[in-house]
Structure 1
Amino acid sequence: MADTHLFLFGGGPPFNDVLGKTFAHLSSNGLNGTQVAVLFMERDGWKEYMPRYTDVLEQNGIAHFEYLPLTPAPSPHFIEQLSLATGVIICGGDTERYREYVVDTEIGKIVKRMYAEGTPVAGFSAGALISPNICVIPPIDNRKNEHLFLPGLGLIDHCVVSVHFSKWKEETNLKKALTLTNAYIGYGMDDDSGIYFKNQVVSETAGQVYFYRNGPAVE
Structure 2
Amino acid sequence: MKQLSFILFCTLSFLFSCNQPQQNEEIQNEIINTAKGQLFIIGGGKRPPILVNKIIELANLKRGGYGIILPMSSSEPDSAIYYSKLQFTEAGITNITGMNIKKGELPTRAQIDSLSNASLIYISGGDQNKFMDIIAGTDIRKAIKTAYTNGSVIAGTSAGAAVMSEVIITGDERNYPDYDNTLRSIEGNNIITAEGLGLLTTAIVDQHFIKRARYNRLFSVCIEYPQLMGLGIDESTAIIVKGDSAEVIGLSQVIRVINKDNELHKNNHLLGAKNLQVSVLLPGDKFSLVN
Task: Tell me whether the two structures share a fold, i.e. TM-score over 0.5.
Answer: yes
Partner of 1:149: 193
User: CA separation in 1, counterparts of 2:244 and 2:132?
Assistant: 21
Report deviation, 1:156: 1.0
User: CA separation in 1, counterparts of 2:193 and 2:84?
Assistant: 28
Which structure 2 segments of 5+ residues have no match?
1-33, 180-189, 260-275, 281-291
CA gap 1:147/1:168 in 2 versus in 1, 3 angstroms:
farther
User: CA separation in 1, counterparts of 2:228 and 2:127?
Assistant: 27
Report deviation, 1:56: 4.3
Ranges of 4+ aligned residues in structure 1 off by more than 6 Å: none
User: CA separation in 1, counterparts of 2:224 and 2:62?
Assistant: 39
Partner of 1:174: 218
Partner of 1:132: 165
User: CA separation in 2, counterparts of 1:118 and 1:144?
Assistant: 41
CA gap 1:168/1:139 in 2 versus in 1, 3 angstroms:
farther
Report deviation, 1:175: 1.0
SS in 2 for 1:210: strand
Report deviation, 1:73: 2.2
Q: Tell me which structure has the larger Cα radius of gyration.
A: 2
Q: How does 1:24-63 map to 2 (within 5 A)?
A: 24-28=56-60, 33-41=64-72, 43-44=75-76, 46-63=77-94
Report deviation, 1:49: 4.7
User: CA separation in 1, counterparts of 2:208 and 2:170?
Assistant: 12
Report deviation, 1:181: 1.6
User: CA separation in 1, counterparts of 2:62 and 2:114?
Assistant: 14
SS in 2 for 1:176: helix
Kept after mapping to 2: 8 A contact 1:13/1:53: no
Kept after mapping to 2: 8 A contact 1:156/1:200: no
Which structure 1 segments of 5+ residues have no match?
none
Query: Which of 206, 228, 235 does residue 191 from structure 1 map onto?
Result: 235
Tell me the amino acid that sits aligned with residue 180 of structure 1.
E
52-61 vs 185-194, greater mean Cα deviation: 52-61
118-127 vs 34-43, greater mean Cα deviation: 34-43
Report deviation, 1:51: 4.9
User: CA separation in 1, counterparts of 2:149 and 2:199?
Assistant: 8
Tell me the amino acid that sits aligned with residue 148 of structure 2.
Y
Kept after mapping to 2: 8 A contact 1:34/1:62: no
Q: CA RMSD in A?
A: 2.8
Instruction: Give per-residue Cα distances to partners, 1:99-131, cap 9 Å, x unaligned.
Output: 122366310000001101110000111111111
Partner of 2:255: 210
Report deviation, 1:195: 1.0
Partner of 1:18: 50
Aligned residues, how many?
A: 215
SS in 2 for 1:205: strand
Tell me the amino acid that sits aligned with residue 193 of structure 1.
T
SS in 2 for 1:69: coil
69-78 vs 88-97, greater mean Cα deviation: 69-78
Partner of 1:83: 116
Report deviation, 1:81: 3.0
Q: TM-score, normalised to structure 2's length?
A: 0.65
User: CA separation in 2, counterparts of 1:2 and 1:159?
Assistant: 16
Partner of 1:66: 97
User: CA separation in 2, counterparts of 1:50 and 1:26?
Assistant: 20
156-165 vs 176-185, greater mean Cα deviation: 176-185
User: CA separation in 2, counterparts of 1:116 and 1:94?
Assistant: 25
Q: TM-score, normalised to structure 1's length?
A: 0.84
User: CA separation in 1, counterparts of 2:207 and 2:130?
Assistant: 17
Report deviation, 1:95: 1.5
